[in-house]
């Protein structure tokens, strides 16, 4: 029954977001999905995984048939009442009582719980978790910046009619205000160059860094299911080259920031990888440089 509820609420989410992200109806579905995911996972056994990532421990939910993706034990804090407090704090626009660490744990737990449910319920389905995660992140981003995003941009065409190009989430806060380009992915892997390519496209159409690129990702973990080992797949040298030769991304936010990417903060070219929770405090100070 819980399974049917989760998949049904996910379908509702896809319908509701068409009318706007930060709305009471969406808040309710996100709340329900979190609470149903916790109900689904509570009776399921946890299996410790072997971590090949320094300083991080992982487990997975596992039933007789399969195991979920790896979950960072240090970030997983399943407590529904925290979400109720956070939701109220969002509504009154005051997160003062929440540290960045607490926000990190809350958002990570909410996102990964839904993903773990789908991992156990469905086979080879990447789309459901990817789509959920997009709306989940965009919901918080929309609340924070206070405007609803667009999903397409107008392209000037001097020869014929202007055309619309589908994009990631685009936030235009108005004249002389910051503008954001928000791609959202559960992981980047061998497709990470697409983050920079989409930024380059916006730079070309609207001017360099007119829209600041602030992608949000979940994690870069990969589990070897036979060995029960978890690694983080990172290509920091490639990222450095993309940042030098394709376009500049202002930030790359993660719910579970990979260790190797956080090291990039220390070297030229500037490439700042951070927990997404920090966006909530720094967003209004971000500007094209």
Helix, strand, coil in percent for the chain, rounding step 5: 45, 20, 35
List of residues 6+ apart from 21 with CB closer than 8 A: 135, 138, 139, 142, 143, 148, 149
Q: How many C-beta neighbours within 10 Å does residue 92 have?
A: 7
**Residue placing its CB nearer to a second copy in the complex, 83 or 135:** 135
d(CA 268, CA 187): 24
List of residues 6+ apart from 282 with CB closer than 8 A: none
Residue 133 CB, nearest distance to a second copy (Å)? 16
57-77 burial: b if 16+ Cβ within 10 Å, else e: bbbbbbeeeebbbbbbeebbe
Residue 161 CB, nearest distance to a second copy (Å)? 11
**Residue placing its CB nearer to a second copy in the complex, 205 or 233:** 205
Residue 226 CB, nearest distance to a second copy (Å)? 17
**Residue placing its CB nearer to a second copy in the complex, 84 or 237:** 237
Chain contacts with a second copy (rule: CB under 8 A): 124, 155, 159, 163, 165-166, 191, 193-194, 196-198, 200-201, 203-205, 237-238, 241-242, 244-246, 267-268
**Residue placing its CB nearer to a second copy in the complex, 2 or 241:** 241
Residue 40 CB, nearest distance to a second copy (Å)? 25
Residue 172 CB, nearest distance to a second copy (Å)? 19
**Residue placing its CB nearer to a second copy in the complex, 132 or 196:** 196
* Residue 222 φ then ψ, to 5°: -135, 130
**Residue placing its CB nearer to a second copy in the complex, 100 or 235:** 235
Alpha helices in the chain (DSSP H): 2-16, 24-41, 80-91, 100-121, 127-145, 193-206, 236-245, 259-262, 279-282
Q: Is the peptide bond before 269 cis (omega within 30 degrees of 0)?
A: yes
Residue 193 CB, nearest distance to a second copy (Å)? 5
Residue 254 CB, nearest distance to a second copy (Å)? 21
**Residue placing its CB nearer to a second copy in the complex, 19 or 163:** 163
DSSP 67: B
């Amino acid at each position: 029954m819980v399974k049917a509820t989760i998949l049904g609420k996910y379908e509702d989410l896809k319908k509701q977001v068409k009318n706007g992200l930060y709305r009471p109806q969406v808040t309710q579905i996100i709340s329900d999905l979190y609470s149903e995911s916790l109900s689904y996972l509570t009776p399921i056994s946890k299996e410790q995984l072997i971590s090949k990532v320094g300083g991080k421990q992982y487990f997975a939910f596992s039933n007789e048939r399969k195991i979920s993706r790896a979950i960072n034990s240090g970030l997983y804090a399943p407590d529904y009442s925290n979400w109720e407090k956070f939701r109220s704090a969002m509504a009154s626009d005051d997160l003062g009582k929440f540290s960045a660490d607490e926000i990190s744990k809350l958002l990570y737990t909410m996102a990964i719980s839904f993903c773990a449910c789908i991992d156990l319920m469905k086979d080879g389905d990447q789309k459901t978790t990817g789509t959920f995660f997009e709306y989940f992140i965009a919901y918080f981003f929309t609340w924070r910046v206070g405007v609803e995003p667009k999903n397409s941009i107008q392209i000037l065409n001097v020869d014929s009619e202007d055309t619309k190009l589908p994009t990631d989430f685009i936030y235009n806060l108005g004249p002389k205000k910051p503008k954001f380009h928000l791609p959202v992915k559960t992981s980047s892997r061998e497709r990470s160059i697409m983050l920079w390519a989409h930024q380059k496209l916006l730079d070309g159409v609207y001017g360099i860094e007119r829209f600041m690129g602030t992608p949000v990702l979940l994690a870069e973990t990969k589990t070897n299911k036979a060995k029960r080992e978890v690694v983080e797949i990172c290509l920091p040298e490639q990222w450095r080259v993309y940042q030098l030769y394709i376009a500049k991304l202002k930030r790359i936010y993660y719910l579970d920031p990979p260790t190797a990417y956080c090291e990039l903060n220390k070297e030229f070219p500037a490439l700042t990888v951070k927990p997404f929770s920090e966006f909530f405090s720094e967003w209004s100070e971000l500007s094209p440089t």
